[in-house]
Every structure is written in C-alpha cells, then in structure tokens.
Structure 1
Amino acid sequence: MDRGKRPGKFLGERHNKIYMDLKDIIREHALPFLPAKSLFRFQGVCRDWKYQISTPFFAHKQSLGFRAISGLFCQTLGDPPLFVSTDLKSCGVPDPSLKFLPVPFDIKSSSNGLLCCQGCTEDKAFYICNPVTQQWTKLPKPNADHGPDPAVVLVFEPSLLNFVADYKLICAFPSADFDDATEFEIYSSKEGSWKISGEICFACRMPMPRSGVHVNGVVYWRAKHGGILAFDLTKDRSRFLQSYFGGSGGLGMMDGKLCTAHASGCSIKVHVLANVHSNTMQMNSNSRMWEEKERILLDNQVFGGDALDPLAVVFANSDVLLIQNGKKFYAYDFKSKETKLLHGVSEHDAKCVAYVNSFVCI
C-alpha cells in the first residue's frame, strides 16, 4: 500500500529530464530577445552559445523577438553616417559608416533592422542593407523619376513563417503630369519589381523626406507646409490629414496608432490619431481626429540648465522618445519617466532615422 505513495527513483529521473538547466533556459528563451551587439559578445561565453547565435534559425528568432529602438543613424548630406546608440554596451553596429556599401550614399529610411540607402552616383540606385550582418542588395531602377531627394518609407514586418525578409519600399514623388500633385511607386521584394500606383493625391502638400512611418498598413509622411499625407497600401488610396501641431513634431506609433510628438520649450505633447473620419461626423459630436495621449515636462537640468536650441522629437513610440537639442540627443523612457543624454553628437542639419539592432537576413 505504501509503495505506491513514495516517489521512487524512476520518478526522480523523469523529473530531471523535464526541467531544463538555467543555462539552457537562457540560451533557448532569453538570447533571442537581446540586441545584436550583446549577442556578438555572448558568442564568447561557450561553444554552445556561439553555435546557437550563429545559426540562421536563431537570426530569424532574434529578428522576431527584438524590436526595441537601439539608436539613430545620423547623416549630413554627402558625409558618412554616424550612429548614436541608446546603450553603448548593448546596441551598436560593426561599422557605423557602412563602408561595405559599394558607392557613396544617403540613408533614407529604416525598418526593424533594415536600412534603405540611395546611392549618390548618377543612377541614384536604392540599396537595402543590414548594418549588423553587412548584407546588402541593390534594387532595380524605378519606373518613375522620384526627384533629387525622394520621400521613401521602408516597410519590413518580420513574420514567424517567413525566413526571408519580405519588404516594401514606398516612394511619394511629384507628379510629372499634374502640377502640385503627388504620385506613389512601390517596390516589392517578393515580386522583385516596382509598380506605380494609380492613385494621385491633389492635396498640394508635398511629403517631407525621412519623415515617413508605417502604421498598420498605412504609410504617413509629414507635409512640407503642415498636415500629414497618408497612403493606404491595402486600399491603394491616399488622403490628407489635418494636423494642428508644429512642424517640428515627429511621427511614430503608439499603442498601435499613429502618433505625433511636438516639443515646446521643455514640454512635449504626444497626440494619437483617434478618428480619421471626424470631419464627417454630425455637428456637436465629441469625436476628434487627434487625442492627447501624453504630456511630458522634461527636467531642464538634464540639458545643462539651459536648452539653447529648440527641442525636436526625431522618434516616438510607446516605449521611448528620442529628442534632439542642437548637436546632442536625449532619450525619454515612458516607464521610468527619466531622460538621459545619449553618447554621440551630430551636426545641426543632420538627418536622422531610428534603427533596431537586428540579425535579420536579406
């Protein structure tokens, strides 16, 4: 009778096979959520970790698991880029100047570990690259003339079932047939070709280069004279959204919605797009296109007691705001409510794009 109640030797051995060692748990379930620079360092822990991190399957898991913004690529026109890291110990790239690309270039857009660069040579070709793995590919020539400084947005959303990076490059460019109109051309890596959309936006508001973001199948650009230009990739339709915030506001995504962050002095207000159809609602409706999501008062002492230059929000999402003050950059963490100075400086007129430290393979 008592024999069946006692845990025997067989039961103990069975439990030893069920439970993993801590080192195995970390290797299998923690490493894929770390940035690429940290993983390069962890390859020296042991042979198992080095093998694990170097496999294509792990690179795929890491591109799915790590999505945090790791810093900014900043570039003055015609000069090599600089990388401003949010954490020097964990986030970085082997060569911030991207010398592995075959021609001089300007960085145009970024998405989940991939960069879009445009060559400064005569053909103005587009290149998609990963600064971590130094892999790159040259895109075919577009069908339309996009102008000297095109407003392009790179869209890459890692997929669990897709080991090859499928991405799109969306370009909004001045129409050659209609004055003050904007047309759109899309490159699909799956199709390997460009396609000009039949949509034409006559809103007379040209999009600003390097201002675009992608949110839930819609690409948004800040317009040069105020407002936001939107292009729906699924419906192949565009529209112009009114925005009553200053021109220095940065676009981003917060809680799955388009957001815009505008700085005034040491105060930052973040608004989210709540209802794009608010102008069609009945009179006296409480529905508004934009809703205030956050109001942040930054500590002036962080800027040395006197912010001589106007603050500009260069990136915003649910976790962090990246802020430029002259040649310096700062990060505001929504969880800790703290603002820290980032290591790295840039020129006043440098153009910046946010970057995710990913192992994604092209």
Structure 2
Amino acid sequence: MNQGKRPSSIFASSKNKIYMDLKDVIREHALQFLPAKSLLRFTGVCRDWKFMISTPFFAHNQSYSFRTTSGFFSQISHGEPSFVSLDPMAYGVPDPSLKFLPEPVDIRSSSNGLLCCQGRTEYKAYYICNPTTKHWQKLPKPDNDHGTDPAVVLIFEPSLLNFAAEYQLICAFPSELDGHEFEIYSSSKGSWRTSGEIFFGNRAIRTNSGVYANGSVYWLTQYDRILAFDLKMERSQLMYGHGSLGVKDGKLCTTSLHGFKLSVHLLSNAYTNTMQMHSHTRAWKTHEITLDPSVFTDSYYDRDAVLFTGNDIVLFRGRDLLYVYDMKTKETKQFGHASSNNRRLISYVNSLVDI
C-alpha cells in the first residue's frame, strides 16, 4: 500500500547521476562555444573548469568552435586603439589599447581572433597578436616596400586537424611596372615570398577594404572595381562590384545602403567573363533587406555608409550614429556614435587562439 510513497534511494542516486552527467556535458561540449571573456570568468567556477579552460587543447577547440563577431577595434590614424563590444557582458579584451606590444601600433587587419598590427618605428614591423591572451609574434621584414598604408589581409582559418595556429598575411603593393604585385607571409615557413603574378593597371586600392573569402583575397579599388587574387593559382583579375566588401556564407559579398534598404550582392561566379557569349550565368545574386525606419534617429547615408559585413551582421553609419543589423534575428540596433570619418573599425572575434 505504501510502496508508491516510499522514498527510493535508487531514484535519488539516479537523480544525482543525471545532474553530474549534465555538468559534464556542459564542461566537455558547451564551454568551447563561448567567447573568451566569458570563459576567463568561468575559471572561477571550480578547479576542474579552471584547469580545462587553461589547457592549449581547449584553446584550440574554442578557436575552431567560436567564430562570432564580438565587436570592433576602433582607431583614428596614429591614435590609441580602443575596443567597442557588441555585448560588453560577454565580449571583451583586457588591454584594448594593445600596450602589451613593444611599440605603438596601427591595426591593419583581423581574422578569427588574431590581429595584424603595424609598428610606427624603424621599418614599421608587422605584429600578429591575440589581444585576449596578449600573446604576439613579430614578423620578419618584408622584401618589398608595402607603402605607408599597406593593403594587407590576414588569413587564419582554424582547423580541428591542425593544432598549430597557422596563418598567412597577403599584401598587394604598388609595382614598379605600373600595377600591383603580391607578397605573402606564411607562418608555417616563417618567411615572406613575392608571387610571380603582376596585375597591370594603375588602380589605387581603397584603404582597409581587403577581405578573404573562399580561397581568394579581394580589395576594392577606385571606380568601384574589385581586385581579386586567387591564392591557389596565384592569378589576379579585375571584377565589377558595387558597395563595401564583406563575407557571407563563406563567399564574397558587396553591401550598399539606399535609404532604408540594404542590398547584399553575393558572388556566385567570379568567372563570368570567361563564359560563352549570351550565357545567362550571373556573377552576383542580390538580396534586398528593408530596415525598420523607427530605429533610426538620423537618415543621412553616403556611398560609404556600410563599414562591415560578416558573420551575419552588417555595420553601417548614419549622420551621427552607427547601426548594426543582424541578418539572423532581422533586428537593427544603435551601436554608438560615428564620431570621425577617419576612424577605422576592425572586426574582432573573442577567441583564445594561441600563437
């Protein structure tokens, strides 16, 4: 009669086992998907979590699993950098001014948790660093003169099969033969080399416009043309395009703003110029996004309004404010003051990647 009401030691033991299993699941399979700032806070939960989060293997898994844009480094030319977080509770770095580096620097590029910075003394050396861990490497001097505002693009693609954080740095620099050449640094080889490819044509590359997508590096040039450099074939070509360069779904995209409408053009075929005549194959597929007008307090937009497209977010400016549009949630939020047209915003992923 009382059997159904009697406390069961078996049930209590089973319940405790379920709790322990859930804790293990969180530790082993969920933590690696969190940003670095949150993980560093979680080292205070218990000794086991602190030990695991501190291991190189966990840092490797986290750098592969977490790819969310966490915020932007902001810097005026020759000024001190700062970090603007998309979520201050979740994302952040301990030293946004990068004073852990041996000299003042200008941020040039970023890729999946790593920053490429350039020093201001001597031969203006390149530094690759992770601002979360404060680890950095100084690169050897390039063989060529990259100019005062180098068109460099950092490429770091985390891989589960490659424990070492290998990266490349590609620079398109002015050639003496009236065009551009390409110099490539490989961290696995620890040296620079100059590609045999030369792009002929006197087209100036726009500052801070370079992106990497699907095996190629792209820069925006004057007159709304795109200079593309295929890293595998080491061949360059000039493409038509309009708007700010970015990456969506692993492919190159251009994004422009017209009133309250974002136009995202996704590159579907980079070689339409080699197709047969009258081919209906189109180079770009266009997606139109209508923004919510009630979010905006200023409605002035210029041709360079879009500042960043990547990881399903678009950053753009109004007259006085910055805005972020989330392609997944379809929400638009204010992101602070636009301040200066000379201010660079470099995206950053809050990663534990070690170099």
- Asked if Structure 1 and Structure 2 have the same fold, meaning a TM-score greater than 0.5 normalized by the shorter chain, the answer is yes
Residue type at the aligned position of 2:166: D
Partner of 1:332: 325
1:307 alignment partner, one of 299, 316, 329: 299
Q: Distance in 1 between matches of 2:253 and 2:187?
A: 28
CA-CA distance at 1:285 after TM superposition: 2.4
- Structure 1, residues 232-272: CA drift from partner, whole Å, max 9, x if none? 111111111112x2xxx222222232111111222210001
Partner of 2:51: 51
SS in 1 for 2:224: coil
For structure 2, the residue ranges without an aligned partner over 5 or more in a row are: 1-8
- Structure 1, residues 135-158: CA drift from partner, whole Å, max 9, x if none? 111100000011111100000011
Partner of 1:185: 183
Kindly indicate whether the alpha-carbon contact (under 8 Å) linking 2:301 and 2:317 is maintained by their aligned counterparts in 1: no
Kindly indicate whether the alpha-carbon contact (under 8 Å) linking 2:92 and 2:350 is maintained by their aligned counterparts in 1: yes
Q: Distance in 2 between matches of 1:54 and 1:283?
A: 59
Partner of 2:238: 240
SS in 1 for 2:342: coil
CA-CA distance at 1:346 after TM superposition: 4.3
- Structure 1, residues 139-198: CA drift from partner, whole Å, max 9, x if none? 00000011111100000011112222110000000002x12x000000001110000010
CA-CA distance at 1:118 after TM superposition: 0.6
SS in 2 for 1:30: helix
Residue type at the aligned position of 2:248: M
- Structure 1, residues 305-361: CA drift from partner, whole Å, max 9, x if none? x32453722221352112233453222111211111225764231011111100000
CA-CA distance at 1:300 after TM superposition: 2.7
Residue type at the aligned position of 2:194: I
Give the 3 Å change call, closer, same or farther, for CA 318–91 of structure 1 in structure 2: closer
Residue type at the aligned position of 1:258: L
Give the 3 Å change call, closer, same or farther, for CA 139–327 of structure 1 in structure 2: farther
Partner of 2:38: 38
1:320 alignment partner, one of 271, 295, 313: 313
1:274 equivalent in alignment to 2:268: yes
Give the 3 Å change call, closer, same or farther, for CA 100–345 of structure 1 in structure 2: farther
- Structure 1, residues 31-81: CA drift from partner, whole Å, max 9, x if none? 100111111121222222112211111111100110011111111101011
Partner of 2:205: 207
SS in 2 for 1:57: helix
Q: Where do 1:42-191 residues align within 5 Å?
A: 42-176=42-176, 178-179=177-178, 181-191=179-189
CA-CA distance at 1:208 after TM superposition: 2.1
Q: Distance in 1 between matches of 2:277 and 2:197?
A: 31
SS in 2 for 1:48: helix
- Structure 1, residues 102-144: CA drift from partner, whole Å, max 9, x if none? 1111100000000000111131110000000001111000000
Deviates more, 1:129-138 or 1:15-24: 15-24
Q: Matched residue pairs, number? A: 345
CA-CA distance at 1:207 after TM superposition: 2.1
Partner of 2:277: 283
Residue type at the aligned position of 1:71: G
For structure 1, the residue ranges without an aligned partner over 5 or more in a row are: 1-8
SS in 2 for 1:164: coil
Give the 3 Å change call, closer, same or farther, for CA 75–234 of structure 1 in structure 2: same
CA-CA distance at 1:274 after TM superposition: 1.5
Residue type at the aligned position of 2:70: S
Kindly indicate whether the alpha-carbon contact (under 8 Å) linking 2:151 and 2:171 is maintained by their aligned counterparts in 1: yes
SS in 1 for 2:288: strand
- Structure 1, residues 68-104: CA drift from partner, whole Å, max 9, x if none? 1111111110101121211111011111111111111
Partner of 1:5: none
Kindly indicate whether the alpha-carbon contact (under 8 Å) linking 2:266 and 2:285 is maintained by their aligned counterparts in 1: yes
Deviates more, 1:262-271 or 1:108-117: 262-271
Kindly indicate whether the alpha-carbon contact (under 8 Å) linking 1:116 and 1:126 is maintained by their aligned counterparts in 2: yes
Give the 3 Å change call, closer, same or farther, for CA 94–328 of structure 1 in structure 2: farther
Partner of 1:3: none
**Identity across the alignment (%):** 58
2:354 alignment partner, one of 349, 358, 361: 361
Q: Taking structure 1 as the reference length, what is the TM-score of the superposition?
A: 0.89
Q: Distance in 2 between matches of 1:116 and 1:199?
A: 24
Kindly indicate whether the alpha-carbon contact (under 8 Å) linking 1:82 and 1:346 is maintained by their aligned counterparts in 2: no
Kindly indicate whether the alpha-carbon contact (under 8 Å) linking 1:73 and 1:352 is maintained by their aligned counterparts in 2: yes
Q: Distance in 1 between matches of 2:191 and 2:131?
A: 24
Give the 3 Å change call, closer, same or farther, for CA 45–344 of structure 1 in structure 2: farther
Deviates more, 1:253-262 or 1:128-137: 253-262
Deviates more, 1:308-317 or 1:90-99: 308-317
